[in-house]
Structure 1
Amino acid sequence: GNIKPVMSSFDCKMIDIFPTSRQPMRGFVEKMKALEQSDPEILSISAIHGFMAGDVPEMGTHMVVLTNNNREKGDRVAKQLGMELFGMRGNNLFPQLSPAEAVSVAVAEQKRPVVMADVWDNPGGGTAGDATIILEEVLRQNVTNAAFGTIWDPIAVQICIAAGEGAEIPLRFGAKSAPGTGSPIDARVRVRRIVRDAHMRFGQSMVPFGDAVVIEFDGIEVVLNSTRAQCFDASLFATMGIEAKSKRLLVIKSTNHFFDSFDRIASRIIYCSAGTPYPNEPRTTPYLKAPRDIWPLVDNPHEKAE
């Protein structure tokens, strides 16, 4: 029959990170899906996570409910779910280790591969994806049989392509984009593989990460790429001729989207907070346009609103 979609929106007055691969957000998503399926008047429910790097007046978390011409119900459900989500604030983010702690924990793990997510140097969140802080720590702790996917450096990629597969060259790469991303790495590397217009899977889609090369030095393989992209899927390593399951340590740049693919092969997943490529602390971010009456900038903005 005919429907008349009506949208209701509730401002949760907060900004947070909401990994849906773990509790409590996994259960919250299942609750939204169950409501959609059980109530014929509810057409769609969405939790708009928000983007804490977005310095705009609308920045923050919202609940959006579409009903079949029932705004009163939509407003009620949006507020109910929005306040429930607000009650979960500060309890969603995965535990994060420092680079030194993360690498030490990975080395102590007996099974392989350990997957380490460089969560804040995530090109999906707007960063360059060229931070070297974890690589510096891996080198400091003399870890071998590790692979990094990826470090964005189109200039280094061009140099390696010009040198050709099998070439051994001195190379400086990484950490060129911004402060808080480590220092460029200087090493004598072997160009192990060159792939033009490389792609990886993401669900049913294919995602480009540009012309890419694998360089090898000190028992470590690094994928350098020329098109910024987070690591969505373990097929990134397969595309570059790296057997991911055989590695002691896989270091990837992603926050959430990698989980489904890598959870299938990882002996353990470690989340690492390395450097400051992304403004991940709203309390200290110098916003100019974002609202100031949201958590965590204030403890409970809904008390004032009520």
Structure 2
Amino acid sequence: DDKSLAERTAERFGKQLFALRNDLIPKFLGIDEALDIALAEPQGPIVIADVSDNAGGGAPGDSTYILRRLIERGIGNVASAMYWDPIAYRFCVEAGVGGTINLRVGGKCGVFSGMPVDLRVTVKGLGRELTQLFGTMPWPLGDAAWVTTDGGIDLIINTVRTQVFHPDCMTALGLDPSERRIVIVKSNYHFQAGFAPIAKRILFCAPPGATQPNFAAIPYTKLKTPYWPKVEDPFAADAA
């Protein structure tokens, strides 16, 4: 019941943890670094987590940074999920399964979504009110479409904003991610239980995005208090 002792102990532990701050930062890969590693692996699928566009952390789920780089580098045999884009989904429904259309994907919600990507795609599958497993619980992902580009990139486009938990989000539409060399999921950690059984390796990639782990790069508008890593030592007298 000694409040003063508790406060001093908490402060001591807090300072000890803060002193280790630079040693505790998880190491994330850049886009090209992650793609290079994946391509160098003799077998797939290699699962790459886009941790910066994780809807579970508040990101929109429609960023295009990795997708654009795949196209620029001419990388195919890739499955990527999920792109929250109800507008693109409606165009897929109008085209119907087997239809080929010009489709603008992603890049619609804000500055961290990147620019929309214009693609020529064929609609391979459509589904209504689909779910994916999160543990043993079905988790709604809404209506969804599976499209494939001329360059061999398979995309899942859905209407309920959520992160990727399980291969169900692909297999429900007929896409088998185990048959792809690279699988890209918009998620942080919760996908691992579902994808680990099929993954030869899992990589964590941090492109720009609303949930990028580099907090210093996020343009906070309400946060005024100095914070690390924006400020190396926010407790210093001149930090403000």
Is 2:152 the counterpart of 1:219?
yes
Q: How many equivalent residue pairs?
A: 235
For 2:194 and 2:10, locate their aligned partners in 1 and report how far apart those are by CA, in whole Å.
Answer: 32
Contact 1:107 1:143 in 2 (8 A): no
The alpha-carbon deviation at position 269 of structure 1 amounts to: 1.5
What is the identity, as a one-letter code, of the residue corresponding to 1:173? V
Residue pairs, 1:1-306, within 5 angstroms? 82-83=14-15, 85-217=17-149, 218-278=151-211, 280-283=213-216, 285-290=218-223, 292-300=225-233
The alpha-carbon deviation at position 84 of structure 1 amounts to: 5.3
What is the identity, as a one-letter code, of the residue corresponding to 1:295? W
The alpha-carbon deviation at position 75 of structure 1 amounts to: 6.4
Unaligned runs of 5+ in 2: none
Contact 2:43 2:200 in 1 (8 A): yes
Normalised by the size of structure 1, how large is the TM-score?
0.67
Q: Tell me, what secondary structure is at the counterpart of 1:140?
A: helix
1:296 and 1:173, CA in 2 relative to 1: closer, same or farther beyond 3 A?
closer
For 2:38 and 2:152, locate their aligned partners in 1 and report how far apart those are by CA, in whole Å.
Answer: 16
Identity over the aligned pairs, expressed in percent?
34
The alpha-carbon deviation at position 100 of structure 1 amounts to: 2.1
For 1:247 and 1:199, locate their aligned partners in 2 and report how far apart those are by CA, in whole Å.
Answer: 22
1:75-102, CA deviations, whole angstroms, 9 ceiling, x for partnerless residues?
6886676555434423344322222222
Give the structure with the higher percent helix. 2
The alpha-carbon deviation at position 74 of structure 1 amounts to: 7.3
Whose relative contact order is higher, 1 or 2, with alpha carbons under 8 Å and at least 6 apart?
Answer: 2
What is the identity, as a one-letter code, of the residue corresponding to 2:113? T
Residue range with higher mean Cα deviation, 114-123 or 167-176: 167-176
Which has the greater radius of gyration? 1
The alpha-carbon deviation at position 277 of structure 1 amounts to: 3.7
Unaligned runs of 5+ in 1: 1-69
1:293 and 1:277, CA in 2 relative to 1: closer, same or farther beyond 3 A?
closer
The alpha-carbon deviation at position 134 of structure 1 amounts to: 0.9
1:230 and 1:78, CA in 2 relative to 1: closer, same or farther beyond 3 A?
farther
